Structure 1
């Protein structure tokens, strides 16, 4: 390859700078700051939210379905404020509602004793966009809860706030509470968290699988009934789609990331983009990757060099699990094929650089897994576990391939890696079909319409109205 001209080099740098600035806000990846094994509510995961700021009154070219929320007072209650999935999704809702003129108040239940840089930064992002931030146990929080048209509790853990702050006023507030649930882990099913759940106006859950799990688990374990429950699949932001559909931007990002990883353009990159934790299955992914290399060697198949990329490490923390991953790589002598990337606020460059996304979340899988629809927007096939919300996103054999969770899935995943490595046309076709599915079902306007429908119904219940 010849040395690029100075003009082209300058153009590349300008593009990269612009994209990094855009995506530092619009595609904040859902990486957990502290190590956690939760396979659902602490995703990018996933699973899944990114912060983006929609236009004032339009979602794409269609009038914003949330316009009826103008001047409404909404209290958002978050269990914490971090770069994990739940808080970022709630912030996204805050910005969606602010864009149509709603009055938004935010409170965070669990705050660190000393102000952390992340908390400070996220709070100021909200303040800059007109979101008021009050202490969780303040009189302002109580007054807002009583006056609000709508109260959104985010995650099951937020239920503790009701008795702790509202006390005797709990029954006055419950009829206007929408409970947004992202968890699937068993330890969240505690009566102290969810005893008020049957009496709220409604519950909003990210996937049908998760909703069914909550319905069965609350009935069988706690003997309580879920309120009316609404499933709201998430959607990709306009900002992410603009880059995903810009071939020049993708090419520049691809070259930049691959150069930083020291891999060639023709090499095949299989990446897991999640917080590094046992629940996300990076250990089993690496086993599958190693096994796929052995299969290719045994069958003497001619394929480009395969590489595994783990995006979401914490180089500073160096947890026991992450040490296990690195020791496995050293033990198998595949250091030149496995690349660890520190947690980052910018996911788009890595989606542009890789060839296949591996969504290997374990146990019950992801509640939804937003990184999955983001990868599909970049026309990437997805190798995912047949669990949780992934089964509602990935069409097995069409937009990707599914495998079992757990050790039983190691060999099937290895075989799927080989399939996509050896069949270029199949890989590209799956990517195109995934993009089509995103355009049909998982766009910002789809999410806005789904949320708007839920909010109308909840407000109707709270106010006793039959229409707006």
Structure 2
């Protein structure tokens, strides 16, 4: 209910059966704390009927948001008026504005996350409307409910939504208010264990936080995505290449005016996740097929089995959605992705990270009628990071979760046990046979022992058990180039390792058939930091490195390690050459792998399906 233009306005609701949604809109004149009329007056009904929606008044306009259709239903004839929850519910993402009481409602941008039960948790803050928490899903067979912790923000001037922040836990029907620069969230129904997002106890707690200053939103004009609805589906949101690239792309799409929603097969919405950090709306995986039906494009991220299983389920439910399906394939070793191999041809469009990956898949399976190769870009934020003289550095190599310390290059090198004269080689990635780290350690240790050159090696991206096993197996020569201080678990703050290094090595051999890396964005990141890069002449790496100009290529296998050894020795002995290659690489990376260009290429590719 809202007070607007001297009248109380009540919008939506349900019939007496509690289940049938209504589009009614009533108003009552009020002044001086009293009603001025004997009864309510019928007003313009809302275009989409619903109950448990939310509303706000801003800029002399009345807004209504979301809600649901269907609810717990009264059992006919029950003497205790008991209700049953074994009823279907549909959650609404629609939003409307009424600027003239006698005129029509205008549809505005849809909510990123369809939500109900935000009746009393919608508030105007500094020219934006915040929807705080709510209920987002009801299972049609088991009838369980799911809540959200998301705070969605609507900007009426831009007609765009963003993720304002998150509550410390899932919550519906709280009461919210503002006092000065503080936001208060009081009572409501919390999410319960084991999943944390199913309705639990009614709480009396009060949450409060200082409202942050509203940052200027980054807006990308002319990219061709304004008004489009795009669903992204991934296997998970681990801090690895494909999920990070997807989240960066989602950010850019939202900045271009698209309505973006993300779901993961691992259902990362249950707890804290990377989508929260990137400000990307994350929906329950159970909602994804229904959202797909209302989307202009569905982008399936990775050829992993969980993603392929969701695609199979989606197309079984709605075969026509194949016309909107884009499969973004980040893998090159097709033998490991049988489910996707069987389904890929059903997509309307396939996108590969490299020509090498496309060739590997094309050799083995039928591809969709439309195919594009798009090299992954460097994000605008990363390019800015690569120009800084100091960066957050994680101090403890054996710890993943830690508070980094801002340090300059020389200070980082001292922490790593690297002197001014040492030549530091960086390898970044999970420890896998196909990545070639153990082979690399042997090669660099042999070079250092034979030449006496001051060479040090830095490995970043291991898991705890792999790190322990690796350090235990090192020979004395290998320990001379690789110490525990330079053997890091996977870190969120990893850019500082590029800053501290003198060269980067992508020693990927490939899981099968020596195909190398699909692309390897860490290689282009190293180039952005001005490092000379050395990599196998296979897979996407060969499409990144210009041999002899931005770095060196060498063959896969043991024969290639002898070539790599000579190349590293050349760089260690000629630091000016290493610097020239690195600077040429930086110029190449910033010119070839721009995020804006990637976004334009994606828009052009999607024009093929919408």
Deviations 1:421-452 (A, max 9, x none): 11122111101110121122112222222222
Decide whether aligned partners of structure 1 residues 276 and 379 sit closer, same or farther in structure 2, where only a CA change above 3 A counts: same
Q: Is the 8 A contact 1:361 1:385 kept in 2?
A: yes
1:184 to 322, 332, 340: 332
Counterpart Cα distance in 2 of 1:65 and 1:385: 38
Decide whether aligned partners of structure 1 residues 99 and 91 sit closer, same or farther in structure 2, where only a CA change above 3 A counts: same
Cα distance, 1:408 vs. partner? 2.2
Decide whether aligned partners of structure 1 residues 162 and 424 sit closer, same or farther in structure 2, where only a CA change above 3 A counts: closer
1:263 to 418, 434, 442: 418
In structure 2, list runs of 5 or more residues that go unmatched.
1-214, 393-405
Counterpart position of 1:216:
363
Counterpart Cα distance in 2 of 1:54 and 1:412: 50
Counterpart position of 1:69:
225
Q: Does 1:92 align with 2:248?
A: yes
Counterpart position of 1:279:
434
Cα distance, 1:84 vs. partner? 2.0
Counterpart Cα distance in 2 of 1:80 and 1:248: 31
1:155 to 302, 322, 333: 302
1:80 to 216, 236, 245: 236
Counterpart Cα distance in 2 of 1:189 and 1:345: 28
Q: Does 1:290 align with 2:445?
A: yes
Counterpart Cα distance in 2 of 1:86 and 1:135: 20
Q: Does 1:433 align with 2:587?
A: no
Counterpart Cα distance in 2 of 1:256 and 1:154: 39
Q: Is the 8 A contact 1:210 1:388 kept in 2?
A: yes
Counterpart Cα distance in 2 of 1:242 and 1:380: 16
Counterpart position of 1:239:
381
Decide whether aligned partners of structure 1 residues 189 and 244 sit closer, same or farther in structure 2, where only a CA change above 3 A counts: closer
Counterpart Cα distance in 2 of 1:189 and 1:344: 27
In structure 1, list runs of 5 or more residues that go unmatched.
1-52, 59-63, 219-223, 298-302, 460-468
Counterpart position of 1:329:
474
Counterpart Cα distance in 1 of 2:500 and 2:542: 25
Q: Is the 8 A contact 2:445 2:478 kept in 1?
A: no
Counterpart position of 1:457:
608
Is the partner of 1:358 in helix, strand or coil?
A: strand
Decide whether aligned partners of structure 1 residues 422 and 83 sit closer, same or farther in structure 2, where only a CA change above 3 A counts: same
Q: Does 1:109 align with 2:265?
A: yes
Counterpart Cα distance in 2 of 1:282 and 1:241: 27
Cα distance, 1:337 vs. partner? 4.6
Is the partner of 2:571 in helix, strand or coil?
A: helix
The higher relative CO (CA closer than 8 Å, separation ≥ 6) is in 1
Aligned residues: 375
Q: Which has the higher strand share?
A: 2
Counterpart Cα distance in 2 of 1:210 and 1:404: 18
Matches within 5 A, 1:40-59: 56-58=218-220
Whichever of the two has the greater Rg, that structure is 2
Matches within 5 A, 1:342-361: 342-361=489-508
